[in-house]
Amino acid sequence: MKHYQHTLQNGIRLVHIDQDSPVAYFGLLVNTGSRDEKEDEHGMAHFIEHAIFKGTKHRRAYHILSRLDDVGGDLNAYTTKEETAFYASFLSPHYERTIELIGDIVFNSVFPIAELQKEKEVIIDEINSYKDSPAELIFDDFEELIYADHPIGRNILGTPETLNRFGRPEIESFLKKNYHTDQIVLCSVGKIPFSKLVRYAEKYFGVVPENRRRKRRKGFKNYKAIEEIRDMNTHQVHCILGNVAYNARNKKRLSLVLLNNLLGGQGLNSRLNLSLREKYGYAYNVESTFTPYFDTGVMNIYFGTDKDKLDKSLKLVHKELAKLCHQKLGPLQLKRAKDQMIGQIAISTDNKENLLFTLGKSYLLFNEFEDLSKVNASINAITASQLLEVANETLYPSQLSLLIYK
């Protein structure tokens, strides 16, 4: 899949994949998230993602929201622990309209005081609603547990106390310290000559003052396995167990992605789903997740079950983990696992919005983009011995932390 790239003088990068479709996608990704916050800034990255739509030097909030809605487009944003994204889907003739709008909200927002207070209330409601969903909350609490006293362990939303301290000066200070031009990627998937796309990028982003990153992120060290049971008065028991894992640049990362997919990925034939749900009926939802970060990663297994089935469920989980740690996959098992993952990736990238994020994040982290043929070749090169090694490094029982809500 051919792609094009261009770097502006201020360090902002532009990447594009040409797609013959009437619908186009454009996004701005910045390598900044909740892990870049100081303790008294907890929730700031996510708050900015909300507040940035509330008015610029040229537009009120209504005009921002209507700019793409009026032509059938869609404007959105998200925040993670390590990145913030502003993106849109629209008809191809509206490329310039979209690029100008995203440039305006990211670099010309004025953060009206009255609007900030409204948005704080919205996010506090979001925090409270999240507490009502233990199946989601437990993932944040697990990372807080294993990344104790480190910024990457804090949740993205913040707290009512920190949110209420944020004003325009605090927002502008955070943007200056963290929205670095060499950490911004403009990504595009759609039908437009790349030369025209470059002109639009230069016109609306080339004027942004250069502001390059000088400081390194604080790394995480000294993981220790820990177990904790919390009385949450939930109907079900919610359980998560896992370990710190490979970072996004580790050569073993892809092997762990394959192993995770086999263990408890999206397929209904994952080992955990076949065991806990299909064979024994102990859990409606059981899954495993691998999340690589810049300098660390998390591998975890989650399930919810009735209280009298917790011990039995944990035994089944450990049984599956023991198989992966002590038994090599046979040739047929390994081939099936690879074929499944290759198919899932192909289907995912056929969704153009997913392709946009894959393109943008690849340049954000690696300053390159591998097409499917190279990814498939890397997957097919994984051996059963490598998977056995990865399983023992990440899933061995003595290394696993455990968090239970009951």
Instruction: Tell me the C-alpha to C-alpha distance, in Å, between residue 97 and each of 109, 143, 243.
Output: 17, 40, 45
Q: Provide mean pLDDT across the span 390-402.
A: 96
pTM above 0.75, yes or no: yes
Residue 213 domain flag: no
Q: Does one domain contain both 168 and 267? A: no
User: What are 229's strand-pairing partners?
Assistant: 404
Tokens of 329: 């996959």
Q: At 237, is the pLDDT very low, low, confident or very high (cuts 50, 70, 90)? A: very high
Q: At 216, is the pLDDT very low, low, confident or very high (cuts 50, 70, 90)? A: confident
Q: Does one domain contain both 163 and 298? A: no
Rounded Cα distance between 92 and 395, Å, is 47
CA atoms in the 13 A half-sphere facing the CB of 315: 6
Tokens of 154: 């804090």
Residue 219 domain flag: no
320 in Cβ contact with 300 (< 8 Å): no
Q: Provide mean pLDDT across the span 84-99.
A: 98
Task: For the sheet with 297-305, list strands across it.
Answer: 227-230, 401-405, 237-244, 297-305, 283-292
Q: Does one domain contain both 232 and 194? A: no
Pairing type for strands 4-7 and 13-18 reads: antiparallel
Q: Provide mean pLDDT across the span 127-141.
A: 92
Residue 216 domain flag: no
33 in Cβ contact with 178 (< 8 Å): no
Q: Does one domain contain both 169 and 279? A: no
Q: Does one domain contain both 105 and 251? A: no
Residue that the structure tokens 């610029």 belong to: 56
79 closest CA partner among 51, 118, 38, 116: 51
Q: Provide mean pLDDT across the span 76-84.
A: 97
pLDDT at 1: 78
Tokens of 358: 């894959």
Q: Does one domain contain both 259 and 194? A: no
Query: Looking at 140, 172, 205, which one is the last position of a domain?
Result: 205
Task: Please report, rounded to a whole number, the percentage of residues in the chain having pLDDT higher than 90.
Answer: 95
Residue 82 domain flag: yes
The domain that contains 351 carries what CATH number? 3.30.830.10
Q: How far apart are the first and last CA of the chain?
A: 48
Q: At 132, is the pLDDT very low, low, confident or very high (cuts 50, 70, 90)? A: confident
Residue 217 domain flag: no
Q: Does one domain contain both 296 and 353? A: yes
Which residues form the domain of 241?
Answer: 227-405
Residue 126 domain flag: yes
For residue 61, how many other CB atoms are within 10 A of its CB? Answer: 14
For residue 178, how many other CB atoms are within 10 A of its CB? Answer: 22
Q: Does one domain contain both 36 and 181? A: yes
Q: What is the 3-state secondary structure (H, E, C) of the chain?
A: CCCEEEECCCCCEEEEEECCCCEEEEEEEECCCHHHCCHHHCCHHHHHHHHCCCEECCCEHHHHHHHHHCCCCEEEEEECCCCEEEEEEEEHHHHHHHHHHHHHHHHHECCCHHHHHHHHHHHHHHHHHHHCCHHHHHHHHHHHHHCCCCHHHCCCCCCHHHHCCCCHHHHHHHHHHHCCHHHEEEEEEECCCHHHHHHHHHHHHCCCCCCCCCCCCCCCCCCCCCEEEECCCCCCEEEEEEEECCCCCCCCHHHHHHHHHHHHCCCCCCHHHHHHHHHCCCEEEEEEEEEECCCCEEEEEEEEECHHHHHHHHHHHHHHHHHHHHCCCCHHHHHHHHHHHHHHHHHHHHCHHHHHHHHHHHHHHHCCCCCHHHHHHHHHCCCHHHHHHHHHHHCCHHHCEEEEEC
Q: Provide mean pLDDT across the span 36-41.
A: 95
237 in Cβ contact with 305 (< 8 Å): yes
pLDDT in tens, 180-208: 999 999 999 999 999 999 999 999 999 99
pLDDT at 218: 85
pLDDT in tens, 338-353: 999 999 999 999 999 9
34 in Cβ contact with 155 (< 8 Å): yes
Q: Does one domain contain both 200 and 277? A: no
Query: Looking at 170, 205, 240, which one is the last position of a domain?
Result: 205
Give the chain's domain count.
Answer: 2
Residue 215 domain flag: no
Question: Residue 88: pLDDT above 90?
Answer: yes
160 in Cβ contact with 48 (< 8 Å): no
Residue 332 domain flag: yes
Query: Looking at 205, 238, 272, which one is the last position of a domain?
Result: 205
Q: Does one domain contain both 267 and 167? A: no
Q: Does one domain contain both 232 and 342? A: yes
Q: Provide mean pLDDT across the span 150-154.
A: 95
Q: Provide mean pLDDT across the span 262-274.
A: 95
Name the region of 378 (left: φ>0; alpha: ψ -120 to 50; beta: rest).
Answer: alpha
pLDDT in tens, 303-319: 999 999 999 999 999 99
Q: Does one domain contain both 153 and 240? A: no
Tokens of 235: 């109907």
Helices 44-51 and 113-131, packing angle to 10 deg: 120
